[in-house]
Amino acid sequence: MTEAATRQAPKVAKKKLQGYVGFANYPNQVHRRSVKKGFNFTLMVVGEAGIGKSTLINTLFNTRVFPDKDESTIGETRRGVEISSMSAEIQENGVRLRLTVVDTPGFGDSINNDDCWQPILENIESRFDAYLTQENRVNRSKISDNRIHALIYLIKPTGHALRAIDIEFMKRMHTKVNLIPVITKSDTLTQDELVGFKSRIIADINYHGIQIFKPQWESFEDPEVINENKDMLSKIPFAVIGSDKIIEKPDGNRVRGRLYPWGIIEVENEKHNDFIKLRKMLVCTHMEELKDVTDSILYENHRSQKLVTMGHEQDNTVFREYNPTAQMEEERSVHEARMSKMESEMTAVFQQKVQEKESKLKQSEEELYARHKEMKQVLEKQRQELEEKKKRLDSQTRPITPLDKKQKKGLFNLS
């Protein structure tokens, strides 16, 4: 049998139900349970001062996650990156989402920005470490997941290409977090400028081997879903505008947007910017995938590296793919080895017993022989003694001569 054949999964027979069983309701049970528990999502936003981080987050979640800034603090020079997180519980149609947004004011603000990525990387890793510590606890029923599920990296709308600081930052982060590069304040670029800017960004990202988060799809999925994902992918990096202001249009409709002397730019208008695409990917379609990639790839990598540095090595033979034929073969050879060991042990015992018996027999034979010899000697001695006695007796007694015939006659005569 070829290896491929032995590796084939056991065949599952398809059975037709003859009546109602009810497990089709299982997804609803999962849905109810998840809704009851609520969801959590942690998002980090990185970008230099005044690039539009707070505005974007408030626009994305339609709430003031970040309060309005005190005017007096605008333009203040910061000593380094300050990382602050804010949580908000938001509800939509009865579904609760605990959203945590981690802001990083001060990024790229210093005169020397060589290591400005360092505190951010440390923050992401320390969240992984905290999760690992919780996982290693005896009681793991209440693990709180504070890992960063996505990082929105805001790119300044320069219209040129990525800056050295952008490349350095993304290179340092892409193995630790789902990177979502986003061009902010895209209202400052014309349509043509934006197309060229996006293609140069993508070229830079590819050239430097940076992994950014991209929507994935499977061939068996709905064609509509596939098209939606393809469309989403074609717009990456998303170019967005942010605004938490509601503006009244001349037709009376109230929209979220930015008001200019020449008109209004609407946030939620796909012709004006990619905000809808970004929000859809982040919230409607790929939130679970972002969490899943974080858990099963990014965190797993960090975790295994950490354990290796701590001196733990994984025995990969334990995690071999299950192959029933190979397992049977293995069990058979183990059984055979055990049997032959038992057999050789038994033979050894048998031989030892035989040897013991043989030596005992030999010993008793020798004893018997010795006794026999002794008795023979005794008998010989007795025989010799008797022989001697006989001789002696023979020599003492006269040889019996025939009685005097006369005497004998005389005797008879008497009668």
Q: Which does 242 bind (CB under 5 to 8 A by kind): ligand GTP, Mg ion, none?
A: ligand GTP
How many alpha carbons lie under 13 Å from residue 162 in its C-beta half-sphere? 26
Pairing of β 254-260 and β 263-266:
antiparallel
187 lines the binding site for ligand GTP (CB under 6 A) = yes
In angstroms, what is the minimal distance from the CB of 20 to ligand GTP? 54
**Exposed e or buried b for every residue in 314-330, given b needs 16+ CB within 10 A?**
eeeeeeeeeeeeeeeee
Return the axis-axis angle of helices 118-135 and 164-173, rounded to nearest 10°.
Answer: 10
Which stretch, 33-41, 42-50, 319-327, 381-389, contacts ligand GTP (CB under 6 A)? 42-50
Tokens matching residue 65: 């996650």
Pick 76 or 345: Cβ nearer ligand GTP? 76
50 lines the binding site for ligand GTP (CB under 6 A) = yes
178 lines the binding site for ligand GTP (CB under 6 A) = no
44 pairs with which residues across the strands? 102, 151
241 lines the binding site for ligand GTP (CB under 6 A) = yes
226 lines the binding site for ligand GTP (CB under 6 A) = no
Rounded Cα–Cα distance for residues 386 and 321 (Å): 96
294 lines the binding site for ligand GTP (CB under 6 A) = no
In angstroms, what is the minimal distance from the CB of 157 to ligand GTP? 8
Q: Are 155 and 186 within 8 A, CB to CB? A: no
Pick 185 or 291: Cβ nearer ligand GTP? 185
184 lines the binding site for ligand GTP (CB under 6 A) = yes
CA dihedral 188, 205, 125, 217 (to 10 degrees): 100
In angstroms, what is the minimal distance from the CB of 54 to Mg ion? 3
Handedness of CA 222, 223, 226, 231 (dihedral sign): negative
Size of the site for ligand GTP (CB under 6 A): 17
Q: Which does 49 bind (CB under 5 to 8 A by kind): ligand GTP, Mg ion, none?
A: ligand GTP
54 lines the binding site for ligand GTP (CB under 6 A) = yes
* Cα–Cα nearest to 38, from 87, 102, 109, 107: 87
Among the listed residues 49, 132, 233, 287, the single contact to ligand GTP using CB under 6 A: 49
Q: Are 170 and 210 within 8 A, CB to CB? A: yes
Rounded Cα–Cα distance for residues 151 and 174 (Å): 10
Binding site for Mg ion (CB under 5 A): 53-54
Rounded Cα–Cα distance for residues 288 and 283 (Å): 9
Which stretch, 43-51, 82-90, 167-175, 278-286, contacts ligand GTP (CB under 6 A)? 43-51
Which stretch, 44-52, 119-127, 175-183, 206-214, contacts ligand GTP (CB under 6 A)? 44-52
Residues 104-143: x/- map of binding to ligand GTP (CB under 6 A)? -x--------------------------------------
Helix, strand counts (H, E) of the chain: 12, 9
Pick 57 or 298: Cβ nearer ligand GTP? 57
Which stretch, 126-134, 182-190, 228-236, 357-365, contacts ligand GTP (CB under 6 A)? 182-190
In angstroms, what is the minimal distance from the CB of 130 to ligand GTP? 25
In angstroms, what is the minimal distance from the CB of 53 to ligand GTP? 3
Tokens matching residue 326: 């190979």
In angstroms, what is the minimal distance from the CB of 186 to ligand GTP? 7
Site for ligand GTP in 308-367 (CB under 6 A): none
Residues 66-85: x/- map of binding to ligand GTP (CB under 6 A)? ---x----------------
**Exposed e or buried b for every residue in 253-271, given b needs 16+ CB within 10 A?**
eebbbbeeeeebbbbeeee
Tokens matching residue 318: 């334990």
Rounded Cα–Cα distance for residues 272 and 270 (Å): 5
Rounded Cα–Cα distance for residues 183 and 106 (Å): 18
In angstroms, what is the minimal distance from the CB of 316 to ligand GTP? 45
Residue type, 205: I
> Which positions touch ligand GTP (CB under 6 A)?
47, 49-55, 69, 105, 184-185, 187-188, 241-242, 258
